[in-house]
Amino acid sequence: MGGFLTIILLFLNLLLLPDPSSSHPLCTDLRAPFTPKTPLAFCPYNGSVCCDSAEDLQLQKQFQAMNVSDSGCASLLKSIICARCDQFSAELFKIESGPRPVPVLCNSTVSVNSSQSNRAANDFCAKVWDTCQNVSILNSPFAPSLQGRGGVPVNSTSSKLTDLWQSKSVFCNAFGGSSEDESVCLDGEPVLLNNTETPLPPNGLCFEKIGNGSYLNMVAHPDGSNRVFFSDQPGKIWLATVPEEGSGGVLGLVESNPFLDLTDEVHFDTEFGMMGMAFHPNFAQNGRFFASFNCDKAKWPECSGRCSCNSDVGCDPSKLGSDNGAQPCQYHSVIAEYTANSTTSQPSSAKSASPSEVRRIFTMGLPFTSHHAGQILFGPSDGYLYFMMGDGGSRGDPYNFAQNKKSLLGKIMRLDIDHIPSATEIEKLGLWGNYSIPNDNPVSDDKELQSEIWALGFRNPWRCSFDSERPSYFLCADVGQEQYEEVDIVTKAGNYGWRVYEGPLLYKPPSTPGGNTSVNSINPIFPVMGYNHSDVNKNEGSASITGGYFYRSMTDPCMNGRYLFADLYAGAIWAGAEYPENSGNFTTNRIPFSCAHDSPIQCSPGDGSSLPELGYVFSFGEDNRKDIFILASSGVYRVVRPSRCNFTCSKENVTAVASPSPRPSSSPSSGSCLSNPHNDLLLFFSFSLLFLLAFTL
């Protein structure tokens, strides 16, 4: 199967990123750039772009309506109008700060980022003013629409820049800018990033073990304290206090006193259990939180819901057959809402919650017994609930659910749980529960899509996260079938290829009772990171990816800005850097790791080795301090200072970290559990049950 396959380039080690809008290539509608089937005729953009031929024609008509007689000015205006087609148009038009009528024009009066310095040194904003200031421009995009920037009130005869703006400096104050804040600007040509520094991988990761429990999920307490929530696969949630790094302390957690116990409702087996939890952004005030789990309708009447195999998606459940002895849609994926308000008037101080559901948010029957993912999390920018769903199971997605736009299997969904529609509206809209559809979901542009869908074409997305410093970076790991494990940057309406592709490789399913999707009918977005199965487990030939986080803590400054992910079976960990910065291109390096000699809990079985015996890496966690945790079958590990493992990091100030900085204080609460699964070729043994997520027979 070949050696280690690194796809593209990974995430540059940035110490500080003051502008959270800095991002990978992204269009103004928040979609990923694409290669149009018909080359653009008007705008001079090739390859990956943000315009199709229809939008290109529309921009041409907008340009013609300006009726510009001066050829020099006309050429500049065309480049400005066509910036909508640039693959970095979201950044050029600053969509996260509100849409602009004109992209940011490079202005040399302020400093310019090195990524564009060799081209942006020319003052493009001044050039536009000097060339066009006295030229008549009908329907001018430069009309004073930017409040407080010194524009002159527009009248019916105003058509020249000198009519609209008081001076060149005022004009460039409104429309000019540079890359000093890690963003990009328009210099009249398609944006190119020209970094020449090759990021060097860190020497290694240093861990300390602070807990013996095995967990599937970890979520930082929304109140910003040093507390976190853990959940296990059988259905319990605990509240724990995180000790200071290097203090010698362990997780403050009481196993016998869970924050919530749903084991009576949760169906627990190798591929089933509590899959996710999410706490409302305003949890400290409203006490709302959510659990995602699986249930068995044969054992719990409230489990019953619509089957995901139905006539709407061209599927007949009676023809599915059994899967490991289960009947189609015997098992369901559920999201339920709970509250901490019943136990205290101040939710942030709650140490327990009632197991009674406030409301059922979502219920869907599953066609097979695997690949239902189940993670839930709130978007940091929009406050909506994202729900990760696998293709439903069975080898090769035989019913092609992941590419079926009317099926919710193999999708990432985006739900509004703050506006609950009436029962009549739910029935009319064909919703699967108590939620609304955000107005800007992809269905607003593509009526063929089920309204809940944010992105499609996934096999089994296992662990997704938003970058805490750049929320436009939404990364998901997707478990492969036979050859390849992948990490994707997820964007609005993105199609990530499965089962036309497995990662970057064309895939041929063994059976296709649900039909096929042709290669030419989709514009797949290929992974930005990944690896071949043969590169991590040559003996068993199996692998299963576990997604992680961008490391944003300064505990290990040499790891800052890199994305960490792992393999379930091999216990291997990768870190990567984006190169050039903000390009969306990644390079990965497998990172050695060791255990601190002063770890609070011994990492190895006592043979003198400093190599942690992680076992199976089920998940990652991030606390409010942005420290990263590994949730493994053997326990909970935290990434700590490199010097504690004798790793060299030139950016670490060893003398300055002798005393750990104080954390917000809070009282401990609860937790512990069994092991968890992840990939369905794996058997579970005694208390170390594995979550078999990747392969179905």
pLDDT grade for 468, boundaries at 50, 70 and 90: very high
Q: Is the pLDDT of residue 318 over 90?
A: no
pLDDT of residue 644: 96
The rounded distance, in Å, linking the Cα atoms of 488 and 475 is 6
Average pLDDT score, the chain: 85
The rounded distance, in Å, linking the Cα atoms of 246 and 479 is 34
The rounded distance, in Å, linking the Cα atoms of 585 and 65 is 38
Q: Whose CA is closest to 596, among 634, 551, 646?
A: 646
Instruction: Report residue 145 as tokens.
Output: 């629409």
* pTM for this entry: 0.85
pLDDT of residue 404: 98
**Torsions phi, psi of 96, nearest 5?**
-75, -15
Helix axes 168-175, 124-132, angle to 10 degrees: 130
153 and 144 in contact (C-beta within 8 Å)?
yes
Percent of the chain with pLDDT over 90: 71
DSSP string, 340-399: STTT-SSGGG-S---SS-SEEEEEEE-SSSS-----EEE-TTT-PEEEEE---SSTT-TT
Is 47 exposed, middle or buried, given 0-12, 13-18 or 19+ CB atoms closer than 10 A?
exposed
Q: Is the pLDDT of residue 344 over 50?
A: yes
How many Cα atoms are found within 13 Å in the side-chain-facing hemisphere of 606?
Answer: 0
**355-400: pLDDT as tens digits:** 999 999 999 999 999 999 999 999 999 999 999 999 999 999 999 9
353 and 451 in contact (C-beta within 8 Å)?
no
**227-285: pLDDT as tens digits:** 999 999 999 999 999 999 989 999 999 999 999 999 999 999 989 999 999 999 999 99
What is the residue type of 76? L
pLDDT of residue 179: 52
693 versus 88: which is more confidently predicted?
88
Give exposure, 259-296, as e/b (b: 16+ Cβ within 10 Å): bbbbbebbbbbbbbbbbbbbbbeebbeebbbbbbbbbb
CB atoms within 10 A of CB 565: 27
621 versus 121: which is more confidently predicted?
621
Q: Where are the domains of the chain?
A: 53-177, 205-276+316-321+366-415+440-670
pLDDT of residue 92: 93
Looking at residue 123, the DSSP 8-state letter turns out to be -
Average pLDDT over residues 467-483: 95
Q: Is the pLDDT of residue 314 over 80?
A: yes
Average pLDDT over residues 148-170: 73
CATH fold of the domain at 205-276+316-321+366-415+440-670: Neuraminidase (2.120.10)
Q: Is the pLDDT of residue 196 over 90?
A: no
pLDDT grade for 610, boundaries at 50, 70 and 90: low
**94-132: pLDDT as tens digits:** 887 777 889 999 987 654 444 444 444 569 999 999 999
